[in-house]
Structure 1
Amino acid sequence: MLSETALEILKARYLRAGETPDEMFRRVAKAVSMGELLYHPPQFAEKWEEKFYTVMKNLEFLPNSPTLMNAGTELGQLAACFVLPVEDSVEEIFNSVKLMAIIQKSGGGTGFSFSHLRPEGDIVKLTNGIASGPVSFMRVFDCATDSIKQGGKRRGANMGVLSIHHPDVKKFITCKRDKKSFQNFNISVAATDEFFEKVKSNGEIELKNPRDGKVWKRVKAKDLFDLIAESAWDSGDPGILYIDEINRKNPTPDLGRIEATNPCGEVPLLPYEECNLGSINLAKVVKNGQIDWKKLEELVEIGIRFLDNVIDVNRYPAKEIELMAKGNRKIGLGVMGFAELLINMKIPYNSNEALELAEKLMSFINKKAFETSVKLAEEKGSFPNIEKSIYKGKKVRNATRTSIAPTGTISMIAGTTPSIEPLFAIAYVKKILENRATVQIDPFFLKYAGNTLSEEQLREILKTGSIQKIPGIPEDVKRIFITALDIPPEWHIKMQAAFQKHTDNSVSKTVNLPYNVTVEDVKKVFWLGYQLKLKGITVFRYGSKEGVIEFGIENLEIEKLIKSKACSCQL
C-alpha cells in the first residue's frame, strides 16, 4: 500500500502522463524483462516480468530512480551512477562537461577525479599562459549542473575528488567553507595509507604536479588532516575516500586504478563505468519479530537478475560507457528499512545485537548475490573482462553485486526508513511551502509506539528531536527509538563497517554529529573509519548547513501546527 507521501512523489517525478503507480511498475517490469529475450524465448521473459512486477508492487524491492522514471520510455537511460574522466587539456575537460550534461539530463549522477589536472600557477606551454587549477575547472562543472535539472525532474549531483598529494589540495579542502560555492558537488579527498601513517608519525608528504610528477612542496600531513577535519566540522565537506582500501578491493585491477566514486560514494568506479542500483526493503522480510530468510533469498535472486537485465536493456549516453558497462557488468544490490527492521525486532540501533544482525544480514545477501551471479554466468556467460579481474578462471556474471545506497527517495516510495540509517528525529519542525512551519512526528514511532505523546512531551521533543530525556516515556521505548544524534559517532562507524565487510562496492552512510562536537571528535571519526577499513566516510554536524529541518524553535503554537505522518526519510 502506497502512502500519501509516496503517491505525491510518484506523481511529481516518476509517473508518465495518465499513468498509475501500478502501471508504472508494470512498465518497468516489462521493459527490464526484455533483457531475457537475448538468451531465452518470450515465455521466459514473461515469467520474469511477473516476478519483477510483484516485488516492486509489494514494495519489497525497488530499483534506482532513473530505472523507475525511464524504463519503457523513449529515453531509456536506467543507470544512476557514472564516473567520467577529467584529463589535463581544455578539449578533454569540456568533453567531460558535455557528457556530464547528457547524463544528468537523463537522471544520472556523476563523479570525477580532478587529480590529473595541473595545479594553479603551472605553465601552459601552448599558450605560454598560467594554469588555473582543478578548483577553477570544478566551477565549470558546477555551473553546467546548475543549468540542468536531472531528467527534468531532479537537480544534478556530482562527486568531486582530489588526491591528498595534489599541490592544490588545501584550496580543494576549503572550497565549500563559504557554504555558497559548489552546491551541486559533494567533495572528498582521496587519502592514501601513506598519508595516515605520516599523520601518525608527524611526518611530511609530498605534493606532486600530476603533469610531470615533480614534487612542488612538502607539507606536514597533520596540518592537512587538521584542515580536513576543520572544514568537515564547519561545512560537512570534504569527506574522505580511503583510496588504497578501495583499490585493494578493486575487482578489475588490470583495467586501471579507481580514483573516484558516484555522488554519494557507494560505488567506486573506473572512468566511463556506470552502475545500476536497487534495494531490498528489509522491513518486508520480518515475520512475528523473526527474519524470513527464504523470502530474503528470493528477493536477492530476483534483484540480482533484475539489475543484470538493466545492463542489457539500457540505452547508454556514450559508446565508451556502454563498453565499460557491458564489459564489467557491475551492479549494486543493497538494502533499505534497516532501522524499521530493528524497531520491529525491538533491537536498539547502538547495540552489539544490531551490529551482529547487520553482519548476518549483509553476509547472507552478499553470499546469495554471488551465488546468483555464478548461476547467471552459467546461463548467460561471464562478464567479458573476467580474465582481467580477480575472478580469472571462474564463472561470474558481474564484477560487483552489492552496494549500500542512500535510498532517499525510493525508501519514501516504499514507506520505510532510508538505507541503513537510524531514525533522524522523533519529532521536528519542517519548513514547507512559503516557509510555513509544520510539526512532523516520525511515522515509525506512530506505527510502532502509537500516537501517545502529550502536547507537553511533544514540545520538549521538538527542542532536540530526541525522546531520551523526556519524562513519562517508558525506558524500553527510549532504547528502541534512538535517533541519529543520540547515537555516539563510533556506533555510526561500527554499523557502516559491519555492512562494508560484506559489500562488494561501498556503503553510503552519514555520521551524524550533534552541534556541540569538536574538531577533535571529527578527527576521531576519520581515524576510526581508516582503522575499520571503510572505503569512505562523511560527517554531518547538525547546524553546519542551513536546512529545512529545525529543532528548538521558540514560541511554537503546537496545537496550530500540522502533525504530519511524512516519512523520516524525507530528511
Structure 2
Amino acid sequence: MTTTASPSTRRNNKTTVDGSSRGLTIGRVFTTEGQHPYDEVEWDHRDVVQTNWKSGEVVFEQKAVEFPKSWSVNASTIVTTKYFRGAVGTPQREASLKTLIDRVVKTYAKAGADHGYFATPEDGEIFEHELTWMLLNQYFSFNSPVWFNVGTPSPQQVSACFILSVEDSMDSILNWYKEEGFIFKGGSGAGLNLSRIRSSKELLSSGGTASGPVSFMRGADASAGTIKSGGATRRAAKMVVLDVDHPDIVEFVETKAKEEDKIRALRDAGFDMDLGGKDIVSVQYQNANNSVRVTDEFMDAVVGGNPFGLRSRADGSVIEEVDAQNLFTKIAEAAWGCADPGIQYHDTINDWHTNPETGPITASNPCSEYMSLDNSSCNLASLNLLKFLRDDDTFDAELFVKAVELIITAMDISICFADFPTEPIAETTRNFRQLGIGYANLGALLMAMGKGYDTEGGRSTAAAITSIMTGASYRRSAELAAIVGPYNGYARNADAHQRVMRKHQAANDDLRVLPGDRGLHKVASREWDQVVKTGAKNGFRNAQASVLAPTGTIGFMMDCDTTGVEPDFSLVKFKKLVGGGSMQIVNQTIPRALRKLGYSEEQVKAIVEFIGGHGHVIGAPGLAHEHYEVFDTAMGQRSIKPMGHVHMMAAVQPFLSGAISKTVNLPETATVEEIEDVYMQGWKLGLKALAVYRDNCKVGQPLSDGGKKAEDKAAVKAPEPEVRIEYRPKRARLPKSRSSRTTSFSVSGAEGYMTSGAYDHGGLGEVFLKLGKQGSTLSGVMDAFSIAVSIGLQYGVPLESFVQKFTNLKFEPAGMTDDPDIRIAQSFMDYIFRRLALDYLSFDDRADLGIYTAAERARYVETGSYLSEEDESEMSEADSLRNTDFDNFNVDGARQPSLLEAHTTAELMESLTGHDIDAPLCMTCGTKMRPSGSCYVCEGCGSTSGCS
C-alpha cells in the first residue's frame, strides 16, 4: 500500500477567517499540495454478492466495484448495496468509491463557492480535497440521506432527523399522517408530541367526548406499518411523546405493555409473533418508540410523595389528581415489561434551548438525540474517534479540532442546497440551520487507551473530547456568521443563545478531569473561550451544533468497532470474508489495549487466544484482575452495570446541543425499582432523555436464561474435585436392536431427514441426519456432527445440554417449517434440537427450556396452564419413568458422573454462546440486528431502524 505522511505532520497551515466577509481561507491539514487524495491510497476491485436469507437466491450482485484495499469487505459491501446509485448492470450504475465521494463532495464544494463561503477558488479546491481525504480514509461520514440523495436527480434531502407537530383538529391530525408518510417514504424518521390533542376525558365543541391521542396513534401506527411493508428498506423510525400532565397519560404509558401481553398470548397459541413475523400485524403500536415528557414539578412530586395534577388541554385546568409516585411506578412497570416508554426531561431540555423566544422544545426525533423546534430537521455527521489516536495512544486534540471545523462548514453548506419534505420544515431548518455533529467508536477508543468504559478515567476522556467537539463546532459557527451571516432566528434569541454558550463554558470549567486528560481540557477551554467571545461579536450561524446519534450504517462504512457513545458490544465479532462467508475474530482493539497496559507480545497472544475461545477475559492467562474493567462490554460475562451507562451519558451531556441516542441495558433479573432508580438518577444527573431495555422482556428473543440454569444445575451436581480426578468416563452403547424414529422436515423449503435411536429405557442414544446430496460437503459435515452428538449422548452428556446450546443457533436456511409444533426455526440446528426436545425430554425439562407443543400453547391461552387436568394427574407417574437419569448409568447399572459434571467442555460451549438480547430480524437480509443507541442495526447488510 502506498504510504502517506501522517496528518499530524501537516498542520502548519490553518483554516482561518481573515476578519472580513470575503470568505474562509482553507489551509491543508490532511492533504498534500499537488497530490490528489485518491493517489495516496492503493485500490482494488471486488465482487459484491448478497443472497436471500431464506431461499439462498442471489438478490444483489455487482462485480468489480472499486475500493481502497484498506476498506473491509463489510464496509465495501454496505456502501455498494446501500449508497451506489443507478440501476445495476447499466452504465449509469456507480461502481467506485471515487464516484460516490465525488458526487457528494463536489456538490458541497460547488454550493460553498456559490454561496460565498470561500475566499478564493483555490480555497474551495482545498476544501474539496480535505473533505475527500477524510471520507476516503474513514475519518468521518455524513448521515445516510446525504449518500442516498446528494448529487442525484432525486430531491437533495440531507437530513435524517425530523420533528413534526400536530394540533387539536382533524385537519392537523390527518396532515400528521400525511407528513409522516412522506418522511417514511424517504427512509428517514420523525417524532412529535401529541399533548395538544384533547384527552378522552374532555368534551368536543359538539358535546361529544374526544377520542384522545392514543386512539389517533392507532391510525398513525397502521399507516407507518403499511408504508414499511410496501418499501424496499426497513421502516423508518417513529417517536411519539406525551406530556406527563396529559389526562390520558396512564393509557399512553400502558399501551405497549398491554400489546406485549397480547403478543405473548398469540405466540403461545402458535402464531408467528417475532418482530417482522407475518402475524405481528394483528397487534398495534409496534411501529413507534414512546416517551413520556416529565417536568421538574412532576419529579419533585415523586420525590416528595405528593399528588400531581393532570390538566385539560383546552384551558389548562386540573381535571384530575394522581399520586405522582404511583404514576412514576406505572412508567417503570411498563418499561420493565416491554422497554416502553422512555423518558424525556422537559425542563432540562429547555434550560439548554438556544431559541426559547421562538418556541419550546416539545419532542425529539425517533432516537431521542435531536431535540429542537417543531417542524424542523437536522443533518448528521459522525467522526471516527479511533482515527485520532496517535501511535503513542494519546488523543490528537488539535487534529480533531481541524476535522470538526471542516465538517461543520460542510454541514452548514448543505442547508443551502438541501430539499425538505414539507415547506414548514424547510422554513424552520433554513431559519435555524440545526446541525448534528457527533462521533462513533468511543468504546473502542477508550479500550485502546487502556481505560474502562465505566470508570472515572473513561468518563473524563469522553467528556473532554465531547467538550472539544461542540466547542470547536460553535466557534466555527461564530466564524461563519461573520462571513455568511447568523441564522435568521438569532437576533430574536441572541441573549438566550449566548446564555447557553456560557452554560457550556461553565460546565467545561467545572469538569473534573484526570491528569492524563488535562491537555484535552486545555484545548476545550480554549475553544469555549473563543466561542463566547466570537459569538458575542458575530452571532452564530447555527442554532444547534452537536448530538450523539446511533451511527449504525455509517459506523460500518467507517469500519468502527463501536457505535455512537456505546461501549463495545462484545469482545468477539464476525468478520465478512472476500468471496462470501464469515469468520469469528477477536476485536482488533484488544491487542492494542493489552500492549498499552504493558503486556508482552507473548502474553498478548495468549490472552487473545483465550478471549477467542471463551468470549470474555475472566481467567485469561496473565491478565491482571485490575485490568478486567478495560474489557467490559455491553453484554456478556462482564457486562457494564446499568448505572455505568447512565454515568457515561451524564459525563458528556453538558457538552451537547442535543441529547444522546442510547439504551441502558438491564439484566432480566432487574426489578421495577431499579428502572425507577435509573429514570430518577437520569433526572438528577442532568440528562435530557433515557431509554431502557430489560433483557428478555420482549417476545421473539432467544432464550437468555438457559445458560444460567445450566450453570446452576452444574453447580448443584458438581462432585468433589478428587472425584473429577479419579473419574474415567465409560460409554453406554446402544443394544444391537433398538427402537428408532425417522422425522422428515423442511426449513424454509430446504428438506432433511432425522433418525433418532433410543435405549430400551427410552433415553436418546443416537442421532443421524441426512441433509444435502450424498457426497456433498454438507452431507459429510452432518454425518460427522451426528457421530459427535451420538457419542456425547452415550458418554452421558444430557440431551438438555445439547438443546440449550444448539437451539436459537442462527444461520441459513432459516424461516418457516412444515412442523406444526415448531412454526419458525432459526436454522437446521435450531429445528433439530427443538424436535428432539419435544420427542425425548419430559414436560418439566422442556418447560425450563421454553419448548412446548402447539397443543400445549393453545391450551395455555384457553386455561392458563400448558397441561390438561388429566395430564397433570398423570405427571407424577410419568415423570418417575421419563425423568430417570438413564444417561448417568453405565452398562453395569452403577451411576457414573456425566461429561457435563466431569469436564469443562460444556462450560467452554456456554462461554462461546453469546448473551443475546431482543432485536428485530433485518428486513433486508434476515440477520438478527443488534442495538445501536436506541435503535437497531444489521451487521450483515448495514440496514438500520434509526436515523443515521
Q: Which runs of 5+ in 1 are unaligned?
A: 431-436, 462-466
Where does 1:382-531 land on structure 2 (aligned, <5 Å)?
382-389=486-493, 390-391=496-497, 394=537, 395-416=539-560, 417-427=562-572, 443-444=587-588, 448=592, 461=615, 467=616, 469-470=618-619, 472=621, 474-475=623-624, 478-485=628-635, 486-531=639-684
Partner of 1:464: none
Partner of 1:88: 168
Which of residues 73, 83, 107 in structure 2 aligns to 1:4? Answer: 73
| CA separation of 1:96 and 1:44: change in aligned 2, threshold 3 A | farther
Instruction: Quote the offset at 1:47 in angstroms.
Output: 3.0
| CA separation of 1:523 and 1:292: change in aligned 2, threshold 3 A | same
Could you list the per-position Cα deviations for residues 159-203 of structure 1 after superposition, in whole angstroms to 9, with x for gaps in the alignment?
110000001101111111123532221111000000010001110
Moved more, 327-336 or 16-25: 16-25
Given residue 358 of structure 1, which amino acid in structure 2 is its aligned partner? A
Alignment check: 8 A CA contact 1:33 1:46 kept: yes
Where does 1:55-94 land on structure 2 (aligned, <5 Å)?
55-73=134-152, 74-94=154-174
Partner of 1:311: 415
Instruction: Quote the offset at 1:257 in angstroms.
Output: 1.1
Given residue 566 of structure 2, which amino acid in structure 1 is its aligned partner? E
Could you list the per-position Cα deviations for residues 297-332 of structure 1 after superposition, in whole angstroms to 9, with x for gaps in the alignment?
111111111111121121111221111111111101
> Tell me, what secondary structure is at the counterpart of 1:539?
strand
Alignment check: 8 A CA contact 2:404 2:469 kept: yes
Alignment check: 8 A CA contact 1:428 1:550 kept: no
Which of residues 374, 398, 402 in structure 2 aligns to 1:271? Answer: 374
Alignment check: 8 A CA contact 2:162 2:191 kept: yes
Separation (CA, whole Å) in 2 of partners of 1:366 and 1:446:
29
Separation (CA, whole Å) in 2 of partners of 1:456 and 1:412:
26
Where does 1:103-502 land on structure 2 (aligned, <5 Å)?
103-126=183-206, 128-149=207-228, 152-177=232-257, 178-179=259-260, 180-288=283-391, 289-389=393-493, 390-391=496-497, 394=537, 395-416=539-560, 417-427=562-572, 443-444=587-588, 448=592, 461=615, 467=616, 469-470=618-619, 472=621, 474-475=623-624, 478-485=628-635, 486-502=639-655
> Tell me, what secondary structure is at the counterpart of 1:540?
strand
Structure 1 residue 13 corresponds to structure 2 residue 82: yes
Alignment check: 8 A CA contact 1:207 1:219 kept: yes
Separation (CA, whole Å) in 1 of partners of 2:303 and 2:329:
12
| CA separation of 1:108 and 1:439: change in aligned 2, threshold 3 A | same
Separation (CA, whole Å) in 2 of partners of 1:309 and 1:170:
44
Alignment check: 8 A CA contact 1:187 1:238 kept: yes
Separation (CA, whole Å) in 1 of partners of 2:668 and 2:563:
22
Given residue 113 of structure 1, which amino acid in structure 2 is its aligned partner? N
Instruction: Quote the offset at 1:134 in angstroms.
Output: 0.7
Which of residues 31, 51, 61 in structure 1 aligns to 2:107? Answer: 31
> Tell me, what secondary structure is at the counterpart of 2:415?
helix
Moved more, 332-341 or 134-143: 134-143
> Tell me, what secondary structure is at the counterpart of 1:384?
coil
| CA separation of 1:54 and 1:456: change in aligned 2, threshold 3 A | closer
Moved more, 108-117 or 478-487: 478-487
Instruction: Quote the offset at 1:479 in angstroms.
Output: 2.6
Separation (CA, whole Å) in 2 of partners of 1:227 and 1:438:
44
Separation (CA, whole Å) in 2 of partners of 1:414 and 1:503:
22
Percent identity, aligned pairs only, is 32
Where does 1:44-59 land on structure 2 (aligned, <5 Å)?
44-59=123-138
Alignment check: 8 A CA contact 1:82 1:262 kept: yes
Separation (CA, whole Å) in 1 of partners of 2:320 and 2:240:
23
Separation (CA, whole Å) in 2 of partners of 1:235 and 1:444:
35
Given residue 169 of structure 2, which amino acid in structure 1 is its aligned partner? S
Given residue 408 of structure 2, which amino acid in structure 1 is its aligned partner? I
Moved more, 519-528 or 388-397: 388-397
Could you list the per-position Cα deviations for residues 510-560 of structure 1 after superposition, in whole angstroms to 9, with x for gaps in the alignment?
2111111111111111111111111111111121234677755653479x9
> Tell me, what secondary structure is at the counterpart of 1:527?
helix
| CA separation of 1:314 and 1:99: change in aligned 2, threshold 3 A | same
**Aligned residues between the structures:** 557
Instruction: Quote the offset at 1:154 in angstroms.
Output: 3.5
Alignment check: 8 A CA contact 2:380 2:436 kept: yes
Given residue 394 of structure 2, which amino acid in structure 1 is its aligned partner? Q
Separation (CA, whole Å) in 2 of partners of 1:45 and 1:325:
25
| CA separation of 1:358 and 1:34: change in aligned 2, threshold 3 A | same
Moved more, 270-279 or 482-491: 482-491
Partner of 1:434: none
Could you list the per-position Cα deviations for residues 351-371 of structure 1 after superposition, in whole angstroms to 9, with x for gaps in the alignment?
111111111111111211111
Given residue 118 of structure 1, which amino acid in structure 2 is its aligned partner? R
> Tell me, what secondary structure is at the counterpart of 2:664?
strand
| CA separation of 1:153 and 1:30: change in aligned 2, threshold 3 A | farther
- Greater RCO structure (CA 8 Å; 6+ sep): 1
Given residue 286 of structure 1, which amino acid in structure 2 is its aligned partner? L
Separation (CA, whole Å) in 2 of partners of 1:514 and 1:363:
32
Instruction: Quote the offset at 1:130 in angstroms.
Output: 2.9
| CA separation of 1:145 and 1:42: change in aligned 2, threshold 3 A | farther
| CA separation of 1:444 and 1:158: change in aligned 2, threshold 3 A | farther
Moved more, 224-233 or 537-546: 537-546
Separation (CA, whole Å) in 2 of partners of 1:470 and 1:151:
48
Separation (CA, whole Å) in 2 of partners of 1:418 and 1:548:
22
Separation (CA, whole Å) in 1 of partners of 2:451 and 2:931:
19
TM-score normalized by structure 1?
0.90
Alignment check: 8 A CA contact 1:253 1:388 kept: no
Instruction: Quote the offset at 1:456 in angstroms.
Output: 9.1
Alignment check: 8 A CA contact 2:165 2:374 kept: yes
Given residue 368 of structure 1, which amino acid in structure 2 is its aligned partner? A
Given residue 480 of structure 1, which amino acid in structure 2 is its aligned partner? V
Instruction: Quote the offset at 1:458 in angstroms.
Output: 6.2
Given residue 557 of structure 2, which amino acid in structure 1 is its aligned partner? I
Could you list the per-position Cα deviations for residues 347-393 of structure 1 after superposition, in whole angstroms to 9, with x for gaps in the alignment?
11111111111111111112111111111111111111111212476
Separation (CA, whole Å) in 1 of partners of 2:645 and 2:654:
14
Q: Which runs of 5+ in 2 are unaligned?
A: 1-69, 87-92, 261-282, 499-535, 576-580, 595-603, 708-800, 812-911, 915-928, 939-948
| CA separation of 1:523 and 1:270: change in aligned 2, threshold 3 A | same
Instruction: Quote the offset at 1:243 in angstroms.
Output: 0.5
| CA separation of 1:406 and 1:451: change in aligned 2, threshold 3 A | farther
Alignment check: 8 A CA contact 2:574 2:583 kept: yes
| CA separation of 1:56 and 1:117: change in aligned 2, threshold 3 A | same
RMSD: 2.9
